[in-house]
Structure 1
Amino acid sequence: MVKGTHNAVEDERNKDILISINGELFPRQDAKISVFDSGYLVGDGVWEAFRYHQGKMVFLDKHLDRLWQSAKVVGMHLPFSREELQSAIQRTLDANQMRDHVHVRVMVTRGIKKTPSQDPRFTISGPNVVIVAEHKQASLENKSRGITLWTSTIRRGSPDYLDPRLNCHSKLHEVQALIQALEAGADEALMLDVNGFVSTCNSTNFFMVKGKEVWTSTGQYCMNGITRGHVIELCERHGLVCREKDFSLFDLYGADEAFVTGTFGGLTPVNAIDGKPIGKGGFGSVTKQLSDWYDQLIEEEIKRQL
């Protein structure tokens, strides 16, 4: 069984979901994209994922800000407005009769190519937009147990060739890092930056706790996750010191607690890194407090939309 941060409670309803492709809804087994799609050919696309709770899209504005920024960075014109995309997402949710504990992924590729090529001038269609909404609730057993990490030899890249803050379809280096961790018997991968400092994980952001301080990376070599940002804001709101700084494995192995953050799993504790135990297993006191504050923040966001 998968023990990583994306482990979800099995839900039979997902077998019959409808998936939106360029505004048209298809049953799961019939949802297909051309082999000439830019995303399939060369990983040329951007995406976002967010939660849908109690009939409300949680922190959607921040996710759309990042989607439009990513599209601008890669030179992809989005021929629709934020409002139009939100309406398409809502139609997909309504068609699936979804209301709570839903995970939505929006993928936008540059479009269909007339021939396999990296060159964007061979694109013969507008962007392809796929919306996948699934009934997905994070496994509470997985969260309470915590996960293990293994430090990969695959580094997070430098901003001058593929900025790690870009949420694009090109994720092969992160897949390679995860494979190394799995082969080492861990659940997910920890990744260092080009200078050897702790950066992030293969699909989540990383934090450690030392004394009463929370440490995370500078943010220059990792995806600037929405949940990561909220944890930093929550520390400031509640008077908990949070330092965005360079730190090494030497510092990390002496941590009192560690946890990872992501849109799907929220905060998940880390039990061991490279075979070295961190804390007593499961939620430490600081991690648990931050997790509770984050759950409260989601409730605030839902109430704000009422």
Structure 2
Amino acid sequence: MAQSIQDFHDDPRNADIRIWVNGELKHRNEAVVSVFDSGFVLGDGVWEGLRVFNGHPAFLDAHLDRLYEGAKAIAMDIGMSRAELTDAIYATLAANGMTDGVHARLMVTRGVKRTPYQDPRVTVGRATVVIIAEFKTAKPETLAEGLSLFTVHVRRGFPDVQDPKLNSHSKLNCITACIQAYTAGADEALMLDPHGFVATCNSTHFFIVRRGEVWTSTGDYCLGGITRANVIQVCREAGITVREKNFSLTEVYGADEAFVTGTFAGLAPVRQVDGRTIGDGKPGPMLARLRELYAGLVQRDVAARAASRAA
């Protein structure tokens, strides 16, 4: 059965989690926002996903960089400093007794409107900030068996239409791509850029391995992925040739390995694209090596953050 890389096994502890809503920690059944909220009315906002290890969000600085840059791009005042937002994340984790096996969603919208209309000037009050932390990890069977991808007609567009660098609440193009993929029987959508080259997936970034080299897209038509950048970094540190370049579906079908990256699942294998088996259809040696290197980078980042919080 087709399933997203974002799928997980339900954890009963999530039934009683506390959610941070504008400075208050509320039970999940009571955590609500207004029907006039900009995020509900128009998807007007930005967000980040965070993985938590040993009580600390990994690569938090990079995630906050992207969040604040996105907010600035849409002329939205988050209303909280980085330090205040960081404290709110840790307060949410502490309230739920969370240290490992946790995924957090940090969401910021422009706030409540006095009428449901797109103009930001009809917003009244401050931004809405929500932090949802859950006990949630990617399914082990998915990480072991890999994903099947289907190339969809929905493209990653030019930045003058909707900049793909902006991690906005408005994700309808990715949603329609996802729908096309799963109705075709695949797990995720592979999306092309306006020129027909491979860009990214609907919720993850895409890599292939050819003759010992790791390839990913130029990045011109995809979100500036944190995990994507970290994989590129560990490749370079380990002396593995990594290329950000244009490549076609023909080169994908003939790849030795393929995998996707994302904050939630880390690195996950791709076994099939458009009905073509990639390599032998099993996770390959390059993926295994990169997973180890990435895990080491996570450990270093978390250790540095733990030392910083203790200081």
Q: Do the aligned residues in 1 keep the contact of 2:55 with 2:93 (CA within 8 Å)?
A: no
Secondary structure in 1 matching 2:235: helix
Secondary structure in 2 matching 1:30: coil
- Structure-1-length-normalised TM-score: 0.98
The aligned runs of 1:267-282 (5 Å cut-off) are 267-282=267-282
Deviates more, 1:266-275 or 1:77-86: 77-86
Alignment-mate amino acid for residue 24 of structure 2: E
**Aligned equivalent of 1:258:** 258
**Aligned equivalent of 1:123:** 123
Aligned length: 306
Q: 1:80: how far off?
A: 1.3
**Aligned equivalent of 1:88:** 88
Alpha-carbon distance in 2 for matches of 1:157, 1:35? 30
Alpha-carbon distance in 1 for matches of 2:98, 2:139? 19
Alignment-mate amino acid for residue 113 of structure 1: K
Provide, for residues 100-148 of structure 1, a one-character-per-residue CA deviation record: whole Å limited to 9, x for no partner: 1111111000010111100001001110000000011222211010000
Alpha-carbon distance in 2 for matches of 1:126, 1:245? 41
Alignment-mate amino acid for residue 139 of structure 2: S
Alpha-carbon distance in 2 for matches of 1:214, 1:35? 46
**Aligned equivalent of 2:211:** 211
Q: Give RMSD over aligned pairs.
A: 1.0
**Aligned equivalent of 2:233:** 233
Alpha-carbon distance in 1 for matches of 2:11, 2:151? 32
The aligned runs of 1:15-164 (5 Å cut-off) are 15-164=15-164
- Structure-2-length-normalised TM-score: 0.96
**Aligned equivalent of 2:181:** 181
Q: Are residues 1:299 and 2:302 paired?
A: no
Alpha-carbon distance in 1 for matches of 2:30, 2:279? 47
- After TM superposition, what 4+ stretches of structure 1 lie above 4 angstroms from structure 2? none
**Aligned equivalent of 1:221:** 221
Q: 1:2: how far off?
A: 6.3
Secondary structure in 2 matching 1:161: helix
Alignment-mate amino acid for residue 87 of structure 2: S
The aligned runs of 1:240-255 (5 Å cut-off) are 240-255=240-255
Deviates more, 1:117-126 or 1:294-303: 294-303
| Structure 1: gaps spanning 5 or more residues | none
Alpha-carbon distance in 2 for matches of 1:79, 1:173? 29
Amino-acid identity (%):
53
Q: Do the aligned residues in 1 keep the contact of 2:2 with 2:185 (CA within 8 Å)?
A: no
